Amino acid sequence: MGVIVIAVCTVVLFILSVLLKPEIKIGKIKFDSFFVFPLLGAILVLACGFLPLKNLGAALFSKGEMNPLKILVLFFSMTAMSLYLDEAGFFRYLAAKSAGNSGKLGFFIRIYALVSILTIFTSNDIVILTFTPFLCAYAKRRGISPFPYLMMEFVAANTWSMLFIVGNPTNIYIAASIGADFYHYLKIMFLPAIAAGVVSFLALLLLFKNELKERVELTPVEESIALDKSLVWVSLAALGLCVLALVVSSFLPRVQMWYISLGFALLLTVIVAIVRLVRREKAKYLFAAYKRLPYAIAPFLVSMFVIVLALKEQGITAKIAALIPEEGEIFSYGGISYLAANLLNNIPMSVLFAEICPTAEAKFAAIISSNLGALLTPVGALAGIMFTKITASYGEEIKVGKFILAGAAVSIPALAAALGALLISL
């Protein structure tokens, strides 16, 4: 019972910290609070002996793909390349160019398409970080409600993130437990991602049809966006070649994805350093992308990994798995993991369900839910926490009830469509 009490208290305190005190300030230092209680929970689990240190060491340094340290390297290196694009002004430039004079519906469709494409090839977190302030500021200048556009951006970013294995750390973690490589993952998830994307977009149009049919002309953004073209092209080339290499690695033995992503991230850093030296620019700009990496995810993921490993060690995960119906496992595991993502947050849910899902089919269903579950409540994913914090800072506070109503209207039909498509894919 001890490990269960620690796990439950950790989750409850984590959710409360996100809702009541999302940021901690000590002197001039500010940091996110979401990892604090999971870290304390993991320390307590180890201190109480619920998980032997030798077992933890074996798991952290295992040669297999389901290794949280390798997953973090893969996630951070892909995110760093996306951040270099953002530092070069690429995302802000595209956002501004998309704000043409074609009314609300045209603007809505263009931004949705842009966010979806960028999310597939970059990072949903980076896209949210970039587009949320832009949409808040744009709506305020034009005197229109930002809510339809903010929800559209959030839905697009957390739906199309399921297409590639590198689109979300939850994809990487659960797929690693199956041993899925880039190509195998894409082959299975292509149809579910398309189904979820189409259904969620149609649901958005239906949900906001009254706001979008208003005849309001939206003029282009007049402000100039500083665009570092050389850095954009170099970053795009590195990111594109990295994705291509990840696909090719699926057909090569003993080539793990984190080697490839780390290699391209380091190569891009060296090239950027050379460009900066040639231009005689200050060295501090070289590591601007690395300063913006979401480092707090590392202790959060590892801490939840420790707690779930302890639950497995004590036989708790097997007992949880026994409670889930075996019939129609795609829909049962998909539905339960969708709800669990909003009780636990999608990263802890993914760590837990990677252990309790009995088959690859159930794990792919959990991957779908780890992405779409982020749409139901603001605490379903770290992206939601970040999203609501940004909107509040721009004076556009989104009430939880309003978020849930809109999120449920979009995510539930999208989840049903994606799980149905998964049945066909498998």
Q: Tell me the per-residue pLDDT of 49-74, one tens digit each, with 9 for 90 and over.
A: 888 888 888 888 777 666 778 888 88
pLDDT reading at 365 higher than 90: yes
Query: What percent of the chain has pLDDT above 90?
Result: 21
Mapping DSSP to helix (H, G, I), strand (E, B) and coil, where does residue 248 land? helix
Dist. CA 173–CA 347, nearest whole Å: 9
CA angle 145, 148, 150 (to 5 degrees): 95
- Give residue-wise pLDDT tens across range 176-204: 888 888 889 999 999 999 999 999 999 99
Average pLDDT over residues 414-422: 95
Task: State the pLDDT at residue 422.
Answer: 95
For tokens 């950027």, what's the residue?
272
Query: Nearest to residue 124, comparing CAs of 89, 147, 153, 88?
Result: 153
Six token digits for residue 1: 């019972």
Dist. CA 404–CA 376, nearest whole Å: 5
φ and ψ at 125, to 5 degrees?
-65, -45
Dist. CA 40–CA 76, nearest whole Å: 23
What's this model's pTM, rounded to 2 decimal places? 0.84
Dist. CA 50–CA 256, nearest whole Å: 31
C-beta neighbour count of 199 within 10 angstroms:
22
Query: Nearest to residue 154, comparing CAs of 185, 129, 172, 178?
Result: 129
Give the helix/strand (H/E) hosting 297.
helix 297-313
φ and ψ at 226, to 5 degrees?
-70, 120
- What's the start-to-end Cα distance of the chain, in Å? 38
Q: Are 300 and 38 in contact (CB under 8 A)?
A: yes
Q: How confident is the model at residue 415 (pLDDT cuts 50, 70, 90)?
A: very high
For tokens 């002309």, what's the residue?
217
Mapping DSSP to helix (H, G, I), strand (E, B) and coil, where does residue 425 land? helix
Average pLDDT over residues 272-295: 75
Q: Please give the torsion angle defined by the CA atoms of residues 347, 369, 384 and 309, in that order, rounded to the nearest 10 degrees.
A: -10
- Give residue-wise pLDDT tens across range 150-165: 999 999 999 999 999 8
Six token digits for residue 392: 């509040």
pLDDT reading at 391 higher than 80: yes
